[in-house]
Every structure is written in C-alpha cells, then in structure tokens.
Structure 1
Amino acid sequence: MNFRLTFPVEPLGPSMQYSDKLLLSGSCFAEEIGHRLQQHKFDVLLNPNGILFNPLSIARSMTSYLDNKRYTADDLFLHEDIWHSWDHHSRFSGTDKVRVLAQINASQDAAAARLKEADWLVVTLGSAHAWYLKENGQLVGNCHKVPEASFTKKLVPADEVIAALDNMMHRLFFVNRKVNILFTVSPVRYVRDGVVENNLSKAVLLQAVHHLVNKFDRLFYFPAYELVLDDLRDYRFYKEDMVHPNDQAVQYVWEHFLKACVQPASQDVARQVAELLRARGHRPFNPGSPAHKQFLATMAKKAGQLQEAHPSLDFGDLLNFFGH
C-alpha cells in the first residue's frame, strides 16, 4: 500500500552549474536553500536586503539594485535606540547610523553588480500579505517589532503581484539578457495571519507565479511548496512551532532541487562536497587515535583532489579542517 502521494519533479530545461553566478532573494526558506548552495560551494549572493516575504518588497529591492540606489540617513528610522531601514531585514540594523548605512550600501553595490552578470535569479515568495505605514502609505519589507497599530495590512491581489514582478523582470531582461529566473513559493505557513488567510495568500502567489512562468520562456517554477505540503504532508516534518519545515524536510527539498535544477556533472561535484561536509560534522570518540588520523588524511586527500579538479571553487575551509 502507498501511504504517501509523491509526484515527479520535472527537471529544468537550462539547469544550474558551478560556473553560474546565482542571486537568491526572498523568504526564510530562500535562506535554507541558499545556505546549502553556499555550503556546497556554488557562487551565491544571498538576500542582499535580508529576508523579504512579500513579492512587492522583493520586486522593489531588485529595482533598487538596477537603479544603483544609495541609501541615506533619510531612509533610516530610530526605534528603541536602534536604526532600521523599512526596506531591509533587521540583520542590517544597529546603534551606529553610519555603520548601518555603510552595510546597506555595500550590500546594494554587491547586488547591483551580481544582478547584471547573474545566470540565475532565484526568488522565493513567502506571503502575499504586505504591510504599509499608516502615516504615509510606505510599503514595509520588515516591521522591526514596531507596534502593529502603526501599519495597515493588505492581501495584495494577484494582478498587482503580477504587475510588480512583470515590470521588474522587463527591466532586468534589458540589463541582463542571459539571466534565468526560478520561482519558488515558501512552504512556511504564516499562521499568524490566520490559517485561512495563509492559504489565500499562498493561492495568490501560486496564481501569480504560474501566470508569469507561462508567459516567459526564461522563467521556471520549482515546487518546494508542494513537496512539503503535498508530498511529506506530516507535522513530524515541521519544527516545534509547527510552521517551519525541519532539517529533514529541508534536506528532502534540497535533494529534489539538486536533481531538478542542477546539471548532472555539477550534481556529482555536489555529492562529493556533501561527503566532505558530513565528514567535517563527524565527532570522533578518540580524536588522537590512528584510525581518526587516517580518516582525516583520507578526507584531506579527497578535498585536495576536488580542489585540483575544480580550481575555481574554494575548498580552503575543508582543507584546513582536515589538516591538508
């Protein structure tokens, strides 16, 4: 008997490889996949604005890179003695305004450069709910724990999501004629919005994304949402909050991502890197034993061979760890 509904994940036409330059943007699930790509030595720029959830803020961030926008003191606000930007995640926030601006603008520069040369832009949409400041109607990418009474919340309709992403992509394609765009919808359930409201939000995102994917040749969809919600479909694959997929679920999605989105030769390299990463995570019972020293020497040799075969990749951290 079958107790799970599985489905095939169709491989992309053009697929990613180690020589590609990637830019990932979006929700916290983008961070999960982005960190795995970085760990496996792919060339990734991850979330230049920090985590962003709604498609309007993501589109706005991309436009700011294309415009080479420079942030100034007028773009920051002070809350509980911390300087923040409404367009950025709190990882950019701090007590020193000059340092906050420097970090933001350095990230802007890196994102602007990467977007012009990127082979892939991977966008993970989290929620169709957007927040606006009541005082001036400004779109907010992150609320920074400012009291909820300061904002108006809106479920952005599909046509508005489509228009924002469509306009952004037209501008991007004019600047970068080779870039492919891969959309995913985050499987994280935003139950703070309400269960029904979360489902409505995801439905809007799915409708908008598939409309765009069907419209453009260089757009693709990877079903991270469906893999967790329809394939795994069990609370044992969630963290204690019952909202975020746990490590086992993310690993399951990652394995499907590799098979569907990465070229076979690069998949083979990624598997070899994964072996080294598992070895680095091994905790020996007796670190001084001859057996463990031989284990380190074997792994160092494998890391060295990979470095020689792929000189453009940086295996320095693994080589140092294994004592090459």
Structure 2
Amino acid sequence: MRHPYAEAPSYTKWRHAVAAPAMAEVDPAVGFPFRLTRQDRVATAGSCFAQHIGRSLKAQGFAYLVTETAHPFIANVAGPCAYEQFSARYGNVYTARQMLQLVQRALGLFEPADRAWTGPGEAVYDPYRPTVQPGGFISVAELEADRARHLACVRRLLEELDYLVFTLGLTEAWISAEDGAAYPLCPGVAAGRFDPDRHLFVNSGVDAIVADVEAFLALIRSVNPRARLILTVSPVALAATAEDRHVLASNTYSKAVLRVAAETLARRHPEEVAYFPSYEIISGIHNRGSYILDDLRSVSEAGVAHVMASFARNATEQGPEFCPVPAAAAPPRRSALFDDLSRLVKAECDEAMLGA
C-alpha cells in the first residue's frame, strides 16, 4: 500500500538517519536554507556555546566579524578581558531580552537606570557585563567611557554584519523592577548586591522569546536591511535554577521552550531566520553522551568539530571537504576530557557561577 512515509527520504527515518550511521555521520542539518560564502561577514552573540562557533568560523577562514578589539598594549590580557570571545565585548548574552536591550542601547533607544555596581574594595562593575573587566573598573567615569566605546562598536557590528549567529541560552533571568533591564547574572553573584525589592525573577515562555527576537531583528534590519539571523540553542545545561524544583526539570523546560521558539521564528520568517541544529548534534542520543564532558554540561572539542563539519556541509558554499566530519567516533579518554576542560576560561560561561 502507498502512504506518505513509503517514498520519504532516509533522513526522515530514525533507523536510517540516527540508529544505523556512525556517530560522526549523523547530520540533522539537511535542508538548511542559507549558504554562506567566505566573503559574508558573520557575527556571533549569545550564550557561552556561541564562543565555540565563533572560534571555529574564524579558524575555517570565514569572514568572522569583530568590531571591538583590545589595544595592542593590553593584548596579553585580551582573553580574560572578554575581547574577541564574541564579535564585540558584550560577554554572555544568555536571553533574547538581553539581546533586544543590547541592540536598543547601541541604537540609542534605551538607557537602563541601573548604571554601575560596586564590588570588593573600590571596584566598579557594569551590571550588563559584570565579568568582562576582571577586578572591575577603577571608577564610574572609566566604566562609562568603556561602555560608550562598547556600544559604538556594537552599533558598527549591527550595520556591517551579513549574518548574526545567536545562541539562545536561557529562559530564566533577573531583571530590574524599575525599568525591566535584563541582567546576564543575578545581582550579587559576580558583583552588585541582590535586593528582592529591586530585582525580579522571570522565566520566559515561547511567546515572549519570539517577540523579543522579532523585535531585535527588526531593529537590526532597520539599519542593515541585508542582515539575516541564524539561531542555535545552547546544549550546555543550566548550572542552577531559581525555580523551586529539580534543576534537571528546569533544564528540560528551558531547552524545550528555546527550541520551540527557534522553530517558530524560522517558520514565520523563512527569508530572514534559520535554525541550525547544533543542539541536536551535541545532545542527541546518537553520540551516547560522548560530546559532553565530565561536568555533564561542557561540550567537548569533538562535539564542536561535528557541529562545524555539519555547518560547513549544509550552510556554506564550501562543501564537506572544507571541514570534514571528525573521523574519531569513540568517546574521548579521561585525559582528553581534562584537556578540554582546561581550555575553558572561567569567565567564558558566567552562568556557571550560579552552581558554584
């Protein structure tokens, strides 16, 4: 008998597409709608997983766009100071609301009331980038000067990019009760002081995330009509939850919401938005957990290599030879796991502080 599944391609069937292939050959990005060239200027933002994507794009010869770099005099501390972790020095942008407000601030449309946090001693911290300056700024004036330069660099980034790869990281966030300004970390974790009357917890649903992404994409395209958005979902699990429930349940909820939001956006705006399934490559059962390190959160270099091989094959004009799928399919040895962990800079994933 004939039915819709009889003639469906093999990649639509679990046995052929997931169970049978070797781990490194599983590729869920088939049919990705965009094809990047080496000339396309690609920017990254989002959660800590976006750092892996940006580093790999640069290593593979893409025109990875960075508009905020360190002065040569401080090049030796550029990494700890969050330069070139992303395309500008905004640090981790975990939520769609953060990204929307960053775009608004860069375009002069929003100025949060909370301007500076204090830390140990006389140090001053940026509430919206609390870990980019180790030890803090020496004064509010220095912070304000650095912030002005930073937002100018972000505006230039928005005007010049062809593609923005944005990794959705969290649904949970803390915001200001005064004006709704979204923080990357709960006040009091890295700097500042938590006040339950001034700081509110929110856990965004699909509709709120979709609305925030649509809003910031519209703003970007108002200054750069050619801009396109590639969404990914971070496979890195929550370090902690502010909900009164098990962190595993909160993590499942968060990833499900982010994945549905990304799908909704890609279907609603097919000419401007696409979803790339890096989350599925890293968290899928086909790799039997071998792409996650011993902390059960961090992603191994082999996992990143698999993601970028799929990206090269499905999302660029270079073809599979440009970035071959990694041959090694066996789980990494314990020594390799520790090598991978040692590559992680402590400030790279600020959210990890919540579970310390």
Normalized against structure 2, the TM-score is what? 0.67
Aligned residues: 270
Q: Which moved more, 1:256-265 or 1:187-196?
A: 256-265
Say if 1:128 and 1:224 are closer, same or farther in 2 by CA, change over 3 A: same
Aligned to 2:41, which of 2, 21, 26? 21
Q: Which residue of 1 aligns with 2:288?
A: 234
Question: Per the alignment, in what secondary structure is the counterpart of residue 75 of structure 1?
Answer: coil
Confirm whether residue 178 of structure 1 aligns to residue 221 of structure 2: no
CA contact (8 A) 1:159 1:208 kept: yes
Partner of 1:292: none
Q: 1:102 to 1:16 in 2, by over 3 A?
A: farther
In the TM superposition, what are the counterparts of 1:266-277 in structure 2 within 5 Å? none
Q: Report whether the alignment pairs 1:57 with 2:60.
A: no
SS of the residue 1:259 aligns to: helix
Structure possessing the higher radius of gyration over alpha carbons: 1
The Cα shift of 1:34 comes to: 0.6
Q: For 1:66 and 1:136, locate their aligned partners in 2 and report how far apart those are by CA, in whole Å.
A: 18
Give the Å deviation of 1:101: 3.3
Higher RCO, Cα 8 Å, sep 6+: 2
Closer, same or farther: CA 134–245 of 1 in aligned 2, 3 Å: same
Paired position in structure 1 for 2:160: 117
Inter-partner Cα distance in structure 2 for 1:80 and 1:27: 26
Residues 2-81 of structure 1: pairs in structure 2 closer than 5 A: 2=20, 6-41=26-61, 42-45=63-66, 46-48=86-88, 49-67=90-108, 75-81=115-121
Conserved in 2, the CA contact under 8 Å of 1:24 and 1:121?
yes
Secondary structure of the residue aligned to 1:132 is: strand
Report deviation, 1:207.
1.5
Deviates more, 1:22-31 or 1:89-98: 89-98
The 1-side partners of 2:218 and 2:177 are apart by 31
In the aligned structure 2, how far is the partner of 1:71 from the partner of 1:137?
Answer: 8
Mapped contact 1:92–1:100 kept (Cα < 8 A): no
| Equivalent in 229, 248, 253 of residue 195 of structure 1 | 248
1:228 to partner: Cα distance = 1.0
Cα separation, 2, equivalents of 1:234 and 1:188: 16
Q: Distance in 2 between matches of 1:136 and 1:172?
A: 22
Larger mean Cα displacement after TM superposition, 215-224 or 83-92: 83-92
Instruction: Supply the distance in 1 between the matched residues of 2:145 and 2:294 (Cα, whole angstroms).
Output: 37
Which residue is 2:258 aligned to?
A: 205
Letter aligned with residue 210 of structure 1: E
Relative to 1, partners in 2 of residues 1:243 and 1:269: Cα closer, same or farther, differing over 3 Å?
A: closer
Pick the aligned partner of 1:225 from 267, 279, 290: 279
Q: Which residue of 2 aligns with 1:287?
A: none
CA distance in structure 1 between the partners assigned to 2:181 and 2:223 by the alignment: 27
Query: What is the SS of the residue equivalent to 1:92?
Result: coil
Structure 1 SS opposite 2:240: helix
Q: Tell me the CA shift for residue 138 of structure 1.
A: 3.9
Deviation at 1:22, TM superposition (A): 1.7
Counterpart residue identity of residue 36, structure 2: M
| Counterpart contact for 1:55–1:165, Cα < 8 Å | yes
Q: Supply the distance in 2 between the matched residues of 1:192 and 1:33 (Cα, whole angstroms).
A: 24
CA RMSD in angstroms comes to 2.9
Gaps of 5+ in 2: 1-18, 67-85, 242-246, 325-356
Residues 25 and 123 of structure 1 are in contact (CA less than 8 Å); yes or no, is this contact kept in structure 2? Answer: yes
> Is residue 2:145 matched to residue 1:145?
no
Shift of the 132–214 alpha-carbon distance from structure 1 to 2, 3 Å rule, reads: same
Q: Counterpart of 1:66 in structure 2: which amino acid?
A: L
SS in 2 for 1:153: strand
Q: Check 1:238–1:229 CA distance in 2 against 1; reply closer, same or farther (3 A cut).
A: same
- Give 1 or 2: higher helix fraction: 1
